[in-house]
């Protein structure tokens, strides 16, 4: 392991100023993914800027919606009464995402920045463009059953691992960031990126930018929202596919629909075309099946992950059905 220095920031301003002086510095909070990566030399920062003492630990209502400070633990978000009441798919996604111990230290900001669990990325005996650009992608010809169906490139077919980020995409959350150059907001669906020819970049964050909060806009349709996660074993495994779905009805017709999936792409995948299709339709099995077919029509399976196409369609149908009936645990 390369030597690195450690500094503990006492304010956001100090943290971003410190980061602006060193392109190889990294912020650390819960460290639940970063420390793992450092142990296998995937990340070798020149310095770690500890942000755990910064004032980003509150959940508070604002004019834009419910603001989750970047250092709020995943446990605190999942347990918050307003999150449980108004955004139940977010609570469910977090509870299904990791063990209680990990949720207690993992943060809002860190959850957004966790990296793929593609096994070839973590095993330095294999080629990986995300780890080292232009070296190849072992997953393309390897065991690719957990890999992407949508939005992949010939450079990388990895999927984003987060559960929490799937409902955040469905909710049109907003990511607040700050750097030494100032503050900006990033729409959640623009925060993560597709691999293209730069698979080493997971997000649209610029060097030195620090996530300070995630804002949940008001979402009356989300009260009956559901999160469905399908995985190889029923205990803290990453999703083969997952669905965040919300259906709001008026006169037995669909007034609002939201649909996003995890385990499908390099980013949480939002199905806006299927959402538009659903609006105005009767909420029944046939409608939901048609939406699922529409959602998956662009899927491009690899050698071993073709089963995920049908799995995803069934998951969509089930999640939409449960949401239309008022929500609950799927």
Give, as ranges, the residues between 111 and 140 that touch ligand SF4 (CB under 6 A).
116, 118, 120-121, 128-130, 137-139
Tell me the closest approach of the beta carbon of residue 34 to ligand SF4, in angstroms: 17
Is the alpha carbon torsion for 71, 73, 78, 79 positive or negative?
A: negative
CB of 117 to ligand SF4, least distance (A): 9
Pick from 16, 36, 38: nearest CA to 27: 16
* C-beta closer to ligand SF4: residue 100 or 200: 200
3-state class of 19 per DSSP?
helix
Beta strands per DSSP E along the chain = 5-8, 25-28, 47-50, 59-62, 65-69, 174-179, 182-187, 210-216, 226-230, 241-250, 253-262, 269-270
Report if residue 199 touches ligand SF4, rule: CB under 6 A: yes
Task: For residues 230 and 326, give the distance between their C-alpha atoms in angstroms, rounded to a whole number.
Answer: 21
Site string for ligand SF4, 151-170 (x = CB under 6 A): -----xxx------------
Bridge partners of 47, per DSSP, are 5, 25
CB of 167 to ligand SF4, least distance (A): 24
Residues 225-264 that bind ligand SF4 (CB under 6 A): none
* Rounded least distance, CB 147 to ligand SF4, Å: 6
Q: Give 15 or 165: the residue with its C-beta nearer to ligand SF4.
A: 165
CA-CA distance, 190 to 186, in Å (whole number)? 7
CA atoms within 13 A on the CB side of 262: 30
Minimum distance from residue 174 beta carbon to ligand SF4 (Å): 28
- Interacting residues toward ligand SF4 by CB under 6 A: 116, 118, 120-121, 128-130, 137-139, 156-158, 199
């Amino acid at each position: 392991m390369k030597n690195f220095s450690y500094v503990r920031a006492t304010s956001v301003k100090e943290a971003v100023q410190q980061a602006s002086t060193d392109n190889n510095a990294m912020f650390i909070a819960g460290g639940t993914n970063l420390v793992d990566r450092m142990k296998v030399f995937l990340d070798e920062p020149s310095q770690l800027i500890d942000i755990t003492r910064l004032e980003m630990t509150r959940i508070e209502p604002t004019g834009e919606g419910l603001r989750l400070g970047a250092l709020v633990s995943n446990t605190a978000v999942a347990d918050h009464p307003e999150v449980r009441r108004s955004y139940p798919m977010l609570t469910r996604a977090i509870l299904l995402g990791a063990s209680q111990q990990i949720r207690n230290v993992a943060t809002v900001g860190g959850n957004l920045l966790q990296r793929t669990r593609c096994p070839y990325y973590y095993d330095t005996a294999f080629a990986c463009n995300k780890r080292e650009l232009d070296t190849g992608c072992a997953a393309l010809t390897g065991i690719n059953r957990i890999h992407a169906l949508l939005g992949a490139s010939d450079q990388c077919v990895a999927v984003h691992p987060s559960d929490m980020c799937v409902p955040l995409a469905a909710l049109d959350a907003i990511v607040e960031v700050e750097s030494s150059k100032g503050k900006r907001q990033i729409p959640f669906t623009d925060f993560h990126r597709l691999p293209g020819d730069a698979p080493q970049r997971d997000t649209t964050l610029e060097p030195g930018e620090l996530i300070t909060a995630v804002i949940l806009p008001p979402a009356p349709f989300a009260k009956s929202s559901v999160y469905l996660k399908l995985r190889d074993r029923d205990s803290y495994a990453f999703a083969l596919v997952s669905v965040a779905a919300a259906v709001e009805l008026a006169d037995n017709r669909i007034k609002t629909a939201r649909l996003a999936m995890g385990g499908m792409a390099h980013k949480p995948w939002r199905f806006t075309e299927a959402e538009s299709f659903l609006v105005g339709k009767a909420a029944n099995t046939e409608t939901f099946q048609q939406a699922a077919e529409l959602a998956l029509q662009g899927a491009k399976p690899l050698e071993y992950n073709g089963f995920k196409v049908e799995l995803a369609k069934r998951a969509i149908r089930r999640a939409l059905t449960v949401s239309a009936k008022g929500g609950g645990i799927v």
